[in-house]
Amino acid sequence: MARRNESILNLLVECPWWVSVLASGIAFVFLKFVSPSIDFRRMVTNSFAKGLSSAAPFVALVLLLPASISAFRSWKKRRRPDSQKNIDSICALNWREFEKLVGEAYRRKGYKVIENTGPGSDEGG
């Protein structure tokens, strides 16, 4: 079942930062160079495609913004285990923070971790 906030920007924030950079580059090249060169056989569609060419830098910038958020989240996630000093600080975590802490600990040991990106718990699954 699809989540409610599944916009392209939300998806790019959840992906690694480089996915946003790649999507931004592809969108820019397509809108700036490819789209205006296609003959759509309709004058209105051709005009629209040429108009999109001037909007290419803005679209690319919007698609690039999630990269910084994604990079910050990744950096913050890598630092999480370093902030835990004793058992009391671990006991103070809620279930989601604890799950992320354990995931990062396994990641540091070389395991591949697949995180639950859904809104609720995976009930241990």
Separation CA 79–CA 19 (nearest Å):
22
* Tokens at 113, concatenated: 């971790």
Residue 58 CB neighbours (<10 A): 11
Handedness of CA 13, 17, 22, 28 (dihedral sign): positive
Q: What is the pLDDT of residue 120?
A: 66
CA torsion angle 7 9 11 14 (round to 10): -140
Q: Kindly compute the dihedral angle of the four CA atoms of residues 97, 102, 107, 113, in this order, to the nearest 10 degrees.
A: -80
Task: Report pLDDT for 24.
Answer: 96
pLDDT digits (tens, 9 = 90+) for 34-71: 988 887 778 888 788 788 889 999 999 999 999 999 99
Q: What is the pLDDT of residues 23-37, one digit of tens each?
A: 999 999 999 999 888
pLDDT greater at residue 73 or residue 4:
73
